[in-house]
Structure 1
Amino acid sequence: MCGRYSLTNRRREALNRKFGVPPGPTTPRYNCAPGQIHEVVSQEGGETVWTRMQWGNQISSSSRADFLPINARSETVASKPTFCDSFREKRCLIPADGWFEWQLIETQRYPHFVRKKDHSTFAFAGTWKELPPESLHRQAFTIITRSAPPNLMHLHHRAPAIIPESDWEKWLAGKPGEEELIEMMSCDQPELEAIQVSSKVNSTRNDGPELLEPESGKQSLLF
Protein backbone atom coordinates (compact mmCIF):
# COMPACT_ATOMS: atom_id res chain seq x y z
CA MET A 1 0.00 0.00 0.00
CA CYS A 2 1.03 3.63 0.01
CA GLY A 3 0.29 5.65 3.13
CA ARG A 4 2.92 8.42 2.99
CA TYR A 5 4.96 10.09 0.25
CA SER A 6 7.01 13.21 -0.43
CA LEU A 7 6.89 15.98 -3.04
CA THR A 8 9.56 18.68 -3.00
CA ASN A 9 10.04 21.96 -4.81
CA ARG A 10 12.48 20.78 -7.44
CA ARG A 11 10.26 17.91 -8.54
CA ARG A 12 7.27 20.23 -8.86
CA GLU A 13 9.19 22.55 -11.16
CA ALA A 14 10.17 19.60 -13.35
CA LEU A 15 6.52 18.69 -13.78
CA ASN A 16 5.60 22.29 -14.58
CA ARG A 17 8.09 22.12 -17.45
CA LYS A 18 6.92 18.70 -18.59
CA PHE A 19 3.24 19.58 -18.87
CA GLY A 20 3.48 23.33 -19.42
CA VAL A 21 1.37 23.66 -16.29
CA PRO A 22 1.21 27.03 -14.52
CA PRO A 23 3.37 26.86 -11.39
CA GLY A 24 1.61 25.43 -8.39
CA PRO A 25 2.27 26.04 -4.69
CA THR A 26 5.98 26.04 -3.92
CA THR A 27 6.07 24.72 -0.35
CA PRO A 28 7.97 21.41 -0.26
CA ARG A 29 6.17 18.50 1.41
CA TYR A 30 8.27 15.76 2.95
CA ASN A 31 5.55 13.78 4.72
CA CYS A 32 2.32 13.80 2.70
CA ALA A 33 -0.34 11.91 4.65
CA PRO A 34 -3.93 10.73 4.08
CA GLY A 35 -6.70 13.17 4.92
CA GLN A 36 -4.50 16.14 4.08
CA ILE A 37 -4.81 18.38 1.02
CA HIS A 38 -2.17 17.76 -1.67
CA GLU A 39 -1.48 18.89 -5.23
CA VAL A 40 -2.16 16.43 -8.03
CA VAL A 41 -2.04 16.82 -11.81
CA SER A 42 -5.41 16.42 -13.54
CA GLN A 43 -7.39 17.56 -16.56
CA GLU A 44 -9.86 20.43 -16.38
CA GLY A 45 -11.65 21.58 -19.52
CA GLY A 46 -9.01 19.96 -21.69
CA GLU A 47 -6.16 21.69 -19.85
CA THR A 48 -3.58 20.01 -17.64
CA VAL A 49 -3.56 21.73 -14.25
CA TRP A 50 -2.41 21.44 -10.67
CA THR A 51 -5.44 20.69 -8.49
CA ARG A 52 -5.64 20.67 -4.71
CA MET A 53 -7.45 17.57 -3.49
CA GLN A 54 -7.85 15.64 -0.27
CA TRP A 55 -6.10 12.27 -0.16
CA GLY A 56 -8.93 9.86 0.50
CA ASN A 57 -12.05 10.64 2.47
CA GLN A 58 -12.70 8.32 5.39
CA ILE A 59 -15.61 10.25 6.93
CA SER A 60 -18.65 8.90 5.12
CA SER A 61 -22.35 9.61 5.34
CA SER A 62 -24.95 6.88 5.55
CA SER A 63 -25.07 6.80 1.75
CA ARG A 64 -21.27 6.46 1.57
CA ALA A 65 -21.36 8.82 -1.41
CA ASP A 66 -18.41 10.76 -0.04
CA PHE A 67 -16.31 7.76 1.10
CA LEU A 68 -13.03 7.18 -0.73
CA PRO A 69 -10.19 4.88 0.42
CA ILE A 70 -6.63 6.17 0.13
CA ASN A 71 -5.62 3.24 -2.11
CA ALA A 72 -7.23 1.22 -4.90
CA ARG A 73 -5.94 -2.07 -6.29
CA SER A 74 -4.92 -2.05 -9.96
CA GLU A 75 -6.45 -5.51 -10.32
CA THR A 76 -9.96 -4.33 -9.35
CA VAL A 77 -10.04 -0.54 -9.87
CA ALA A 78 -11.86 -0.93 -13.20
CA SER A 79 -14.65 -3.07 -11.73
CA LYS A 80 -15.27 -1.93 -8.14
CA PRO A 81 -18.26 0.45 -7.87
CA THR A 82 -16.25 2.83 -5.67
CA PHE A 83 -13.68 3.45 -8.42
CA CYS A 84 -14.91 2.28 -11.84
CA ASP A 85 -16.50 5.55 -13.01
CA SER A 86 -13.51 7.61 -11.91
CA PHE A 87 -11.12 5.14 -13.51
CA ARG A 88 -12.83 5.66 -16.86
CA GLU A 89 -13.24 9.43 -16.70
CA LYS A 90 -11.30 11.03 -13.81
CA ARG A 91 -7.73 9.82 -13.72
CA CYS A 92 -4.93 11.86 -12.22
CA LEU A 93 -1.20 11.73 -11.55
CA ILE A 94 0.25 12.13 -8.09
CA PRO A 95 3.79 13.53 -8.47
CA ALA A 96 6.29 12.27 -5.91
CA ASP A 97 9.95 12.00 -4.99
CA GLY A 98 9.29 8.69 -3.25
CA TRP A 99 7.16 6.96 -0.66
CA PHE A 100 7.57 5.51 2.81
CA GLU A 101 7.16 1.91 3.92
CA TRP A 102 7.73 0.39 7.36
CA GLN A 103 9.64 -2.89 7.68
CA LEU A 104 8.50 -5.07 10.58
CA ILE A 105 11.38 -6.82 12.36
CA GLU A 106 10.18 -8.76 15.39
CA THR A 107 8.12 -6.13 17.23
CA GLN A 108 9.70 -2.99 15.77
CA ARG A 109 8.77 -1.13 12.58
CA TYR A 110 11.59 0.63 10.72
CA PRO A 111 10.66 3.33 8.18
CA HIS A 112 12.22 3.25 4.72
CA PHE A 113 12.06 5.81 1.92
CA VAL A 114 11.70 4.30 -1.56
CA ARG A 115 12.81 6.44 -4.50
CA LYS A 116 14.21 6.18 -8.01
CA LYS A 117 17.92 5.44 -8.04
CA ASP A 118 18.60 8.61 -10.07
CA HIS A 119 16.33 10.63 -7.71
CA SER A 120 14.29 11.86 -10.69
CA THR A 121 10.61 12.68 -10.56
CA PHE A 122 7.87 10.14 -11.14
CA ALA A 123 4.12 9.96 -10.79
CA PHE A 124 1.71 7.53 -9.17
CA ALA A 125 -1.43 6.44 -10.99
CA GLY A 126 -4.54 7.86 -9.38
CA THR A 127 -8.23 8.51 -9.74
CA TRP A 128 -10.33 11.27 -8.23
CA LYS A 129 -13.97 12.07 -7.53
CA GLU A 130 -16.19 15.02 -6.75
CA LEU A 131 -17.45 15.04 -3.18
CA PRO A 132 -21.01 15.98 -2.16
CA PRO A 133 -21.66 19.67 -1.36
CA GLU A 134 -21.86 18.95 2.37
CA SER A 135 -18.30 17.57 2.41
CA LEU A 136 -15.46 19.68 3.77
CA HIS A 137 -13.57 19.53 0.47
CA ARG A 138 -14.62 19.54 -3.18
CA GLN A 139 -12.52 16.67 -4.51
CA ALA A 140 -10.61 13.66 -3.23
CA PHE A 141 -8.08 11.34 -4.85
CA THR A 142 -6.85 7.80 -4.34
CA ILE A 143 -3.50 6.22 -5.24
CA ILE A 144 -3.61 3.00 -7.26
CA THR A 145 -1.36 0.18 -6.06
CA ARG A 146 -0.06 -3.02 -7.64
CA SER A 147 1.87 -6.06 -6.50
CA ALA A 148 5.28 -4.97 -5.22
CA PRO A 149 8.43 -6.01 -7.09
CA PRO A 150 9.93 -9.20 -5.58
CA ASN A 151 12.85 -7.38 -3.99
CA LEU A 152 10.49 -4.91 -2.32
CA MET A 153 8.33 -7.56 -0.69
CA HIS A 154 10.32 -7.41 2.55
CA LEU A 155 8.84 -3.93 3.08
CA HIS A 156 5.29 -4.51 1.82
CA HIS A 157 3.51 -6.76 -0.67
CA ARG A 158 1.92 -3.75 -2.42
CA ALA A 159 3.51 -0.70 -4.05
CA PRO A 160 2.18 2.36 -5.89
CA ALA A 161 1.62 1.92 -9.63
CA ILE A 162 4.11 4.25 -11.34
CA ILE A 163 3.00 5.54 -14.74
CA PRO A 164 5.87 5.86 -17.27
CA GLU A 165 6.57 9.45 -18.28
CA SER A 166 5.82 8.58 -21.91
CA ASP A 167 2.24 7.71 -20.87
CA TRP A 168 1.51 10.68 -18.61
CA GLU A 169 -0.45 12.63 -21.20
CA LYS A 170 -2.41 9.60 -22.37
CA TRP A 171 -3.24 8.61 -18.78
CA LEU A 172 -4.66 12.06 -18.10
CA ALA A 173 -6.33 13.09 -21.33
CA GLY A 174 -6.71 10.10 -23.59
CA LYS A 175 -9.60 7.70 -23.99
CA PRO A 176 -7.67 4.45 -23.87
CA GLY A 177 -9.43 1.16 -23.36
CA GLU A 178 -9.36 -0.71 -20.09
CA GLU A 179 -6.66 -3.11 -21.28
CA GLU A 180 -4.35 -0.25 -22.25
CA LEU A 181 -4.85 1.46 -18.89
CA ILE A 182 -4.06 -1.76 -17.05
CA GLU A 183 -0.94 -2.17 -19.18
CA MET A 184 0.26 1.32 -18.16
CA MET A 185 -0.09 0.37 -14.50
CA SER A 186 1.57 -3.01 -14.98
CA CYS A 187 4.73 -1.94 -16.80
CA ASP A 188 8.16 -2.62 -15.33
CA GLN A 189 8.98 -0.46 -12.32
CA PRO A 190 11.94 1.92 -12.66
CA GLU A 191 15.14 1.07 -10.80
CA LEU A 192 14.46 1.91 -7.18
CA GLU A 193 16.40 2.19 -3.97
CA ALA A 194 15.18 2.02 -0.37
CA ILE A 195 16.94 3.78 2.46
CA GLN A 196 16.19 3.42 6.15
CA VAL A 197 15.21 6.80 7.55
CA SER A 198 14.44 8.39 10.88
CA SER A 199 11.42 7.33 12.90
CA LYS A 200 10.51 11.03 12.99
CA VAL A 201 8.47 10.32 9.85
CA ASN A 202 6.06 8.30 12.01
CA SER A 203 4.45 11.55 13.13
CA THR A 204 2.60 13.57 10.51
CA ARG A 205 3.50 16.68 12.51
CA ASN A 206 7.07 16.32 11.22
CA ASP A 207 7.52 17.63 7.69
CA GLY A 208 11.14 18.59 6.98
CA PRO A 209 14.03 17.50 4.73
CA GLU A 210 15.63 15.54 7.57
CA LEU A 211 12.91 12.90 7.07
CA LEU A 212 14.53 11.86 3.78
CA GLU A 213 18.07 11.57 5.15
CA PRO A 214 19.47 8.03 5.55
CA GLU A 215 19.89 6.77 9.08
CA SER A 216 23.58 6.83 9.94
CA GLY A 217 25.37 3.67 8.80
CA LYS A 218 22.38 2.23 6.93
CA GLN A 219 22.85 0.93 3.40
CA SER A 220 20.59 1.58 0.44
CA LEU A 221 18.90 -1.44 -1.12
CA LEU A 222 18.60 -1.43 -4.91
CA PHE A 223 15.73 -3.05 -6.78
Structure 2
Amino acid sequence: MCGRFAQYNSRNEYFDALKIKDDEIIYDPQPIGRFNVAPGTKVLLLNERDEHLHLDPVYWGYGPDWWHKQPLINARGETAASGRMFKPLWHHGRAVVPADGWFEWKRDASHKQPYFIYHQNKQPLFFAAIGKAPYDKDHGHEGFVIITAASNKGMVDIHDRRPLVLSSDAVAEWLSPETTPERAEEIAQDAALPEKAFAWHPVDKAVGSIKHQGAELVERIDHPLV
Protein backbone atom coordinates (compact mmCIF):
# COMPACT_ATOMS: atom_id res chain seq x y z
CA MET A 1 0.00 0.00 0.00
CA CYS A 2 -0.62 2.49 -1.46
CA GLY A 3 -0.29 1.53 -5.13
CA ARG A 4 -3.42 3.04 -6.71
CA PHE A 5 -5.84 5.72 -5.61
CA ALA A 6 -8.60 7.99 -6.92
CA GLN A 7 -8.50 11.79 -7.18
CA TYR A 8 -11.69 12.56 -9.05
CA ASN A 9 -13.54 15.38 -7.29
CA SER A 10 -13.02 19.05 -8.08
CA ARG A 11 -10.40 21.14 -6.33
CA ASN A 12 -13.27 23.03 -4.71
CA GLU A 13 -14.41 19.88 -2.90
CA TYR A 14 -10.99 19.36 -1.35
CA PHE A 15 -10.43 23.01 -0.48
CA ASP A 16 -13.89 23.39 1.07
CA ALA A 17 -13.18 20.40 3.32
CA LEU A 18 -10.02 22.19 4.51
CA LYS A 19 -11.87 25.51 4.95
CA ILE A 20 -9.42 27.21 2.59
CA LYS A 21 -10.61 30.71 1.70
CA ASP A 22 -11.13 31.90 -1.86
CA ASP A 23 -8.14 34.25 -1.75
CA GLU A 24 -5.72 31.60 -0.41
CA ILE A 25 -5.56 29.35 -3.47
CA ILE A 26 -7.02 29.15 -6.96
CA TYR A 27 -10.35 27.36 -6.92
CA ASP A 28 -11.54 25.26 -9.84
CA PRO A 29 -15.03 23.70 -10.01
CA GLN A 30 -14.08 21.21 -12.75
CA PRO A 31 -13.65 17.59 -11.60
CA ILE A 32 -10.09 16.31 -11.71
CA GLY A 33 -11.58 13.03 -12.93
CA ARG A 34 -8.76 10.59 -12.16
CA PHE A 35 -10.26 7.30 -11.02
CA ASN A 36 -7.11 5.17 -11.32
CA VAL A 37 -3.99 7.14 -10.33
CA ALA A 38 -0.84 5.06 -10.78
CA PRO A 39 2.78 5.50 -9.66
CA GLY A 40 5.08 7.16 -12.17
CA THR A 41 2.47 9.76 -13.11
CA LYS A 42 2.16 13.35 -11.95
CA VAL A 43 -0.32 13.91 -9.15
CA LEU A 44 -1.77 17.14 -7.76
CA LEU A 45 0.02 17.71 -4.47
CA LEU A 46 -0.97 20.32 -1.87
CA ASN A 47 2.00 22.11 -0.29
CA GLU A 48 2.99 25.39 1.33
CA ARG A 49 5.83 27.62 0.15
CA ASP A 50 6.48 31.35 0.43
CA GLU A 51 3.64 31.55 2.96
CA HIS A 52 1.06 30.45 0.38
CA LEU A 53 -0.69 27.19 -0.40
CA HIS A 54 -0.05 25.63 -3.81
CA LEU A 55 -1.43 22.66 -5.72
CA ASP A 56 1.30 21.38 -8.03
CA PRO A 57 1.54 18.38 -10.39
CA VAL A 58 4.34 16.24 -8.92
CA TYR A 59 5.83 12.88 -9.96
CA TRP A 60 4.59 10.03 -7.74
CA GLY A 61 7.76 8.18 -6.81
CA TYR A 62 11.09 8.93 -5.20
CA GLY A 63 14.44 7.68 -6.46
CA PRO A 64 17.52 9.86 -5.81
CA ASP A 65 20.65 9.48 -7.94
CA TRP A 66 22.24 6.94 -5.59
CA TRP A 67 19.11 4.74 -5.58
CA HIS A 68 19.49 2.13 -8.34
CA LYS A 69 16.10 0.46 -8.04
CA GLN A 70 12.56 1.41 -9.01
CA PRO A 71 11.49 4.70 -7.36
CA LEU A 72 9.75 4.13 -4.05
CA ILE A 73 6.11 5.18 -3.80
CA ASN A 74 5.43 4.74 -0.06
CA ALA A 75 7.27 5.37 3.19
CA ARG A 76 6.43 3.72 6.48
CA GLY A 77 5.27 6.24 9.04
CA GLU A 78 7.15 4.39 11.77
CA THR A 79 10.57 5.08 10.19
CA ALA A 80 10.16 7.89 7.63
CA ALA A 81 11.18 10.64 10.05
CA SER A 82 14.53 9.05 10.90
CA GLY A 83 15.65 6.86 7.98
CA ARG A 84 18.44 7.86 5.59
CA MET A 85 16.19 7.99 2.55
CA PHE A 86 13.34 10.06 3.92
CA LYS A 87 14.58 12.14 6.88
CA PRO A 88 15.44 15.22 4.74
CA LEU A 89 12.02 15.06 3.08
CA TRP A 90 10.29 14.78 6.44
CA HIS A 91 12.09 17.94 7.57
CA HIS A 92 11.56 20.07 4.46
CA GLY A 93 9.13 18.40 2.05
CA ARG A 94 5.87 17.64 3.83
CA ALA A 95 2.82 17.73 1.56
CA VAL A 96 -0.68 16.31 1.23
CA VAL A 97 -2.40 14.31 -1.51
CA PRO A 98 -6.12 15.18 -1.76
CA ALA A 99 -7.96 12.00 -2.68
CA ASP A 100 -11.32 10.27 -2.69
CA GLY A 101 -10.18 6.76 -1.84
CA TRP A 102 -7.61 4.11 -2.63
CA PHE A 103 -7.49 0.57 -3.96
CA GLU A 104 -6.16 -2.59 -2.35
CA TRP A 105 -6.12 -6.18 -3.56
CA LYS A 106 -7.30 -9.02 -1.34
CA ARG A 107 -5.73 -12.36 -2.24
CA ASP A 108 -6.25 -16.06 -1.72
CA ALA A 109 -4.39 -18.97 -3.27
CA SER A 110 -5.67 -18.38 -6.79
CA HIS A 111 -7.48 -15.03 -6.98
CA LYS A 112 -6.90 -11.31 -6.44
CA GLN A 113 -9.91 -9.09 -5.78
CA PRO A 114 -9.57 -5.28 -5.77
CA TYR A 115 -11.41 -3.22 -3.17
CA PHE A 116 -12.07 0.51 -3.09
CA ILE A 117 -11.55 2.07 0.36
CA TYR A 118 -13.04 5.48 1.17
CA HIS A 119 -14.37 7.65 3.99
CA GLN A 120 -17.59 6.13 5.29
CA ASN A 121 -19.25 9.57 4.94
CA LYS A 122 -17.83 10.06 1.42
CA GLN A 123 -15.68 12.95 2.64
CA PRO A 124 -12.41 13.93 0.91
CA LEU A 125 -9.25 12.24 2.18
CA PHE A 126 -5.87 13.85 2.78
CA PHE A 127 -2.90 11.49 2.52
CA ALA A 128 0.23 12.59 4.37
CA ALA A 129 3.12 12.77 1.91
CA ILE A 130 6.76 13.83 1.76
CA GLY A 131 8.93 14.66 -1.21
CA LYS A 132 11.57 16.81 -2.87
CA ALA A 133 10.70 20.48 -2.41
CA PRO A 134 10.13 23.00 -3.86
CA TYR A 135 7.30 21.39 -5.75
CA ASP A 136 7.14 23.96 -8.53
CA LYS A 137 10.47 22.57 -9.83
CA ASP A 138 10.89 19.36 -11.84
CA HIS A 139 13.23 17.06 -9.89
CA GLY A 140 12.89 14.09 -12.22
CA HIS A 141 12.35 10.87 -10.26
CA GLU A 142 12.77 12.70 -6.97
CA GLY A 143 9.07 13.34 -6.57
CA PHE A 144 7.02 12.31 -3.54
CA VAL A 145 5.91 9.27 -1.55
CA ILE A 146 2.75 8.60 0.44
CA ILE A 147 3.20 7.90 4.16
CA THR A 148 1.66 4.62 5.28
CA ALA A 149 0.53 3.22 8.62
CA ALA A 150 -0.27 -0.26 9.88
CA SER A 151 -3.81 -1.49 9.31
CA ASN A 152 -5.77 -2.79 12.26
CA LYS A 153 -9.11 -4.46 12.91
CA GLY A 154 -11.23 -5.21 9.85
CA MET A 155 -9.08 -3.41 7.31
CA VAL A 156 -6.22 -5.85 7.80
CA ASP A 157 -8.42 -8.41 6.02
CA ILE A 158 -7.85 -6.35 2.87
CA HIS A 159 -4.25 -5.23 3.40
CA ASP A 160 -1.80 -4.81 6.27
CA ARG A 161 -0.82 -1.23 5.31
CA ARG A 162 -2.88 1.86 4.53
CA PRO A 163 -2.25 5.53 3.72
CA LEU A 164 -1.82 7.79 6.71
CA VAL A 165 -4.94 9.93 6.28
CA LEU A 166 -4.82 13.21 8.19
CA SER A 167 -7.88 14.88 9.65
CA SER A 168 -8.77 18.06 7.79
CA ASP A 169 -8.02 20.11 10.92
CA ALA A 170 -4.43 18.84 10.99
CA VAL A 171 -3.49 19.54 7.37
CA ALA A 172 -2.45 23.18 7.79
CA GLU A 173 -0.09 22.39 10.67
CA TRP A 174 1.39 19.39 8.83
CA LEU A 175 2.15 21.59 5.82
CA SER A 176 3.53 24.57 7.71
CA PRO A 177 7.32 25.09 7.46
CA GLU A 178 7.13 26.32 11.04
CA THR A 179 6.06 22.87 12.26
CA THR A 180 9.08 21.04 13.65
CA PRO A 181 9.90 17.50 12.50
CA GLU A 182 9.17 16.30 16.02
CA ARG A 183 5.76 17.94 16.01
CA ALA A 184 5.08 16.42 12.59
CA GLU A 185 5.69 12.98 14.13
CA GLU A 186 3.09 13.76 16.78
CA ILE A 187 0.61 14.86 14.11
CA ALA A 188 1.19 11.63 12.20
CA GLN A 189 0.38 9.64 15.34
CA ASP A 190 -2.42 11.72 16.83
CA ALA A 191 -4.24 13.25 13.85
CA ALA A 192 -4.54 10.21 11.57
CA LEU A 193 -8.06 8.94 10.95
CA PRO A 194 -8.73 5.55 12.58
CA GLU A 195 -9.79 2.44 10.65
CA LYS A 196 -13.38 2.88 11.79
CA ALA A 197 -13.59 6.07 9.66
CA PHE A 198 -13.40 4.03 6.44
CA ALA A 199 -15.67 1.78 4.42
CA TRP A 200 -14.81 -0.47 1.47
CA HIS A 201 -16.39 -2.57 -1.22
CA PRO A 202 -15.23 -4.86 -4.04
CA VAL A 203 -14.74 -3.36 -7.49
CA ASP A 204 -14.11 -4.66 -10.99
CA LYS A 205 -10.66 -6.11 -11.65
CA ALA A 206 -10.34 -3.71 -14.60
CA VAL A 207 -8.76 -1.27 -12.14
CA GLY A 208 -5.62 -3.40 -12.36
CA SER A 209 -4.83 -1.87 -15.77
CA ILE A 210 -4.00 1.82 -16.05
CA LYS A 211 -5.67 1.76 -19.47
CA HIS A 212 -8.97 1.91 -17.58
CA GLN A 213 -9.80 5.29 -16.06
CA GLY A 214 -13.61 5.57 -15.86
CA ALA A 215 -15.94 6.23 -12.94
CA GLU A 216 -17.15 2.62 -13.10
CA LEU A 217 -13.86 1.57 -11.46
CA VAL A 218 -15.05 2.74 -8.02
CA GLU A 219 -18.51 1.16 -8.27
CA ARG A 220 -19.43 -1.85 -6.14
CA ILE A 221 -19.64 -5.27 -7.78
CA ASP A 222 -21.97 -7.97 -6.45
CA HIS A 223 -19.88 -11.11 -6.78
CA PRO A 224 -16.27 -10.64 -5.61
CA LEU A 225 -13.73 -13.38 -6.27
CA VAL A 226 -12.33 -13.11 -2.73
> Does TM, scored on the shorter chain, surpass 0.5?
yes
- Structure 1 counterpart of 2:160, from 135, 151, 157: 157
Question: Higher mean Cα deviation, 150-159 or 20-29?
Answer: 20-29
- Structure 1 counterpart of 2:149, from 138, 146, 151: 146
- Secondary structure of the residue aligned to 1:14 is helix
Q: Hey, what's the Cα distance between the residues in 2 that align with 1:138 and 1:26?
A: 27
Cα deviation 1:143-181 (Å, max 9, x = unaligned): 000111221111111111011111110000153344432
Q: Hey, what's the Cα distance between the residues in 2 that align with 1:67 and 1:23?
A: 35
- Structure 2 counterpart of 1:41, from 30, 37, 46: 46
> How far apart are 1:106 and its partner, in Å?
2.1
Q: 1:42 to 1:148 in 2, by over 3 A?
A: same
Q: How many residues align?
A: 212
> How far apart are 1:138 and its partner, in Å?
7.8
Q: 1:67 to 1:127 in 2, by over 3 A?
A: farther
CA contact (8 A) 2:62 2:131 kept: no
Residue 31 (structure 1) aligns with: 36
Q: Is 1:56 matched up with 2:53? A: no
Residue 20 (structure 2) aligns with: 19
The AA in structure 1 aligned to 2:98 is: P
Residue 4 (structure 2) aligns with: 4
The AA in structure 1 aligned to 2:13 is: A
Over aligned residue pairs, what C-alpha RMSD do you find?
A: 2.4
CA contact (8 A) 2:62 2:142 kept: no
Instruction: Normalising by structure 2, report the TM-score.
Output: 0.85
Q: Hey, what's the Cα distance between the residues in 1 that align with 2:142 and 2:57?
A: 8
Q: 1:107 to 1:138 in 2, by over 3 A?
A: closer
- Secondary structure of the residue aligned to 1:153 is helix
Q: Hey, what's the Cα distance between the residues in 2 that align with 1:26 and 1:103?
A: 29
Residue 117 (structure 1) aligns with: 120
> How far apart are 1:205 and its partner, in Å?
1.0
> How far apart are 1:186 and its partner, in Å?
2.3
- The answer for unaligned runs of 5 or more in structure 1 is 219-223
CA contact (8 A) 2:2 2:148 kept: yes
Q: Hey, what's the Cα distance between the residues in 1 that align with 2:62 and 2:141?
A: 11
CA contact (8 A) 1:112 1:195 kept: yes
Instruction: Normalising by structure 1, report the TM-score.
Output: 0.86
Q: Is 1:170 matched up with 2:173? A: yes
Q: 1:85 to 1:65 in 2, by over 3 A?
A: farther
Identity of aligned residues (%): 26
The AA in structure 2 aligned to 1:115 is: Y
Q: 1:66 to 1:172 in 2, by over 3 A?
A: farther
Residue 221 (structure 1) aligns with: none
CA contact (8 A) 1:115 1:192 kept: yes
- Secondary structure of the residue aligned to 2:123 is coil
Cα deviation 1:16-36 (Å, max 9, x = unaligned): 333342136743100001001
